[in-house]
Amino acid sequence: MGLLWPAMLLLLVAVPLAVAAYILVLRRKKRFAVHYSSLSLILPAMAGGFQWRRHLPFVMIVLAILLLILALSRPFANVTVSANRTTVMLALDVSLSMCSTDVDPNRFTVAQDAVERFIDTQAKGTRVGIVAFAGIAQLVAPPTTDRDELLEASANLTASRGTAVGSAIARSLDALSEVNPDIPPFRVRVGPLSDVSDAELEDSLQPDVIVLLTDGANTRGIPPLSAASAARDRGVQVYTVGFGTENPSVLRCTAEQLGGDAFTNRIGRGGFGNFGGGFGRGNYLRLDEQTLGRIAEITQAEYYLAESADELLEVFTTIPLRLEKKRVRMELSAFLTAASSLLALSALALGLRWSSLP
């Protein structure tokens, strides 16, 4: 507890002055009291505790003045609150296999819905970023608390060929380095933590995490396990999510999921080779659970398998975010002012009501 403006307490000298003035007024009234010939004439008027009633409004006014003076001194208290320290990078697979309809209406749509639900349910102040990857990985939404920007980025994702899992991790690390100076960019060489025990690694973990969702195996770019080692060396956990069933079906995405100019390097443009109209049935990339599990293990995170929309939503709700306890200053002036006003209004109401008593 403390006071920001303690000098305002000097106004408290007005309180004993007000009490003294009130007592003086009461004594002057006694000097001009009316004499009655019989007590039977005034006892009914004093029934119901009239003596304490006549002083109660004044007592309430004095208390209201005391609270108002305390409010003017701006008292504060240091309280402990929980704050979310985590920045979440969502690395989302937008390869053509995400058009598979084994999850209704297709994997792409379900993944978008889960991402949007995840964004909407985050606590105020949580930063989220989005990296989309197919043949290359690109940052489509840098870490931000602006939900509208994130939802728009998710809605504008488009599909292309290839699956660059390792590049997605590397690009996510670069995005985290922009908001957390303790995380070096991927291309910056850092000391390896390969010989550090899991217990020691836990103490050096960053609050920021990467959530990587894919339905296939890496086909190009940086080797996934090399990228995972880089994440471990930076203390960044990579939670991996394998999405889809073991029986992928016909590929069918909406026009919006196949078009647009959201990315360069042919991401989001046509030219899908042998897939043809409606995409028919082609050679599907199978989910590489072994690699995804190993990525999570290296970075001391978790691997999740989701084969339906409900399972994917459940996965997104179980991603752990790190909270910290911090001390914040909370001013109490507003509460004291409200209490002072309530007392003053109550005193006025009681005074008006009881003034009609004989």
In the prediction, which pLDDT does 156 show?
92
94 lies in a domain? yes
In the prediction, which pLDDT does 263 show?
39
Task: Based on the fold, state whether residues 192 and 58 are members of the same structural domain.
Answer: no
170 lies in a domain? yes
* Residue 143 pLDDT level (bands cut at 50, 70, 90): very high
In whole angstroms, give the CA distance from residue 76 to residue 73.
Answer: 9
Task: Based on the fold, state whether residues 110 and 155 are members of the same structural domain.
Answer: yes
Give me the DSSP letters along 106-136: -HHHHHHHHHHHHHHTSPTT-EEEEEEESSS
Gap between the terminal Cα atoms of the chain: 47
Rg, Å, the chain Cα set: 35
Task: Based on the fold, state whether residues 316 and 336 are members of the same structural domain.
Answer: no
Average pLDDT over residues 45-60: 66
Higher pLDDT residue, 35 or 319? Answer: 319
Question: Highest mean pLDDT range out of 201-205, 224-228, 323-327?
Answer: 224-228
* Residue 82 pLDDT level (bands cut at 50, 70, 90): very low
227 lies in a domain? yes
In the prediction, which pLDDT does 67 show?
87
Residue 177 backbone zone (phi > 0: left; psi -120 to 50: alpha; other: beta): alpha
CA distances from residue 26 to 32, 161, 170, 209, 279 in whole angstroms, order as listed: 10, 93, 83, 72, 97
* φ, ψ (nearest 5 deg) of residue 132: -105, 140
Task: Based on the fold, state whether residues 74 and 190 are members of the same structural domain.
Answer: no
In the prediction, which pLDDT does 38 show?
52
Task: Based on the fold, state whether residues 121 and 266 are members of the same structural domain.
Answer: yes
In whole angstroms, give the CA distance from residue 240 to residue 150.
Answer: 20
Residues above pLDDT 90, as percent of the chain: 36
Higher pLDDT residue, 78 or 20? Answer: 20
Lookup: tokens for 36: 């009655």
Among 7-16, 166-175, 189-198, 293-302, the range scoring the smallest mean pLDDT is 189-198
Question: Highest mean pLDDT range out of 63-72, 159-168, 198-207, 252-261?
Answer: 159-168
Task: Based on the fold, state whether residues 49 and 125 are members of the same structural domain.
Answer: no
Lookup: tokens for 239: 């939670």
147 lies in a domain? yes
Higher pLDDT residue, 240 or 37? Answer: 240
In whole angstroms, give the CA distance from residue 175 to residue 183.
Answer: 10
At 47, is the secondary structure helix, strand, or coil?
Answer: coil
Angle (CA) 14-16-19 rounded to 5° is 110
CATH number at residue 217: 3.40.50.410
Average pLDDT over residues 327-351: 82
CB burial readout 32-66, b (16+ within 10 A) else e: eeeeeeeeeeeeeeeeeeeeeeeeebbebbbbbbb
Angle (CA) 121-123-128 rounded to 5° is 80
pTM of the model: 0.63
Give me the DSSP letters along 71-94: HHT-EEEEEEEEEE--EEEEEEE-
Average pLDDT over residues 282-297: 80
Q: How many domains does the chain have?
A: 2
Beta strands in the chain (DSSP E): 2-3, 75-84, 87-93, 127-133, 137-144, 209-214, 237-243, 303-306, 323-331
The DSSP element (H or E) to which 170 belongs, if any, is helix 165-179
How many residues does this entry show for the chain? 358
Q: 192 with 233: CB under 8 angstroms?
A: yes
Task: Based on the fold, state whether residues 149 and 236 are members of the same structural domain.
Answer: yes
Average pLDDT over residues 77-100: 80
The yes-or-no verdict on residue 289 having pLDDT over 60 is yes
37 lies in a domain? no
User: Taking the CB of residue 72, how many other CB atoms lie within 10 A of it?
Assistant: 17
Task: Based on the fold, state whether residues 299 and 350 are members of the same structural domain.
Answer: no
Higher pLDDT residue, 260 or 235? Answer: 235
Task: Based on the fold, state whether residues 92 and 158 are members of the same structural domain.
Answer: yes
* Residue 81 pLDDT level (bands cut at 50, 70, 90): very low
Task: Based on the fold, state whether residues 154 and 242 are members of the same structural domain.
Answer: yes
130 lies in a domain? yes
Q: Which domain holds residue 188?
A: 86-321
In the prediction, which pLDDT does 236 show?
93
348 lies in a domain? yes
Q: 225 with 294: CB under 8 angstroms?
A: yes
34 lies in a domain? no
In the prediction, which pLDDT does 281 show?
40
Higher pLDDT residue, 79 or 242? Answer: 242
Question: Highest mean pLDDT range out of 128-142, 244-258, 303-317?
Answer: 128-142
Question: Highest mean pLDDT range out of 81-95, 207-221, 334-348?
Answer: 207-221
Task: Based on the fold, state whether residues 120 and 16 are members of the same structural domain.
Answer: no
In the prediction, which pLDDT does 230 show?
95
Task: Based on the fold, state whether residues 54 and 100 are members of the same structural domain.
Answer: no
Q: 224 with 212: CB under 8 angstroms?
A: no
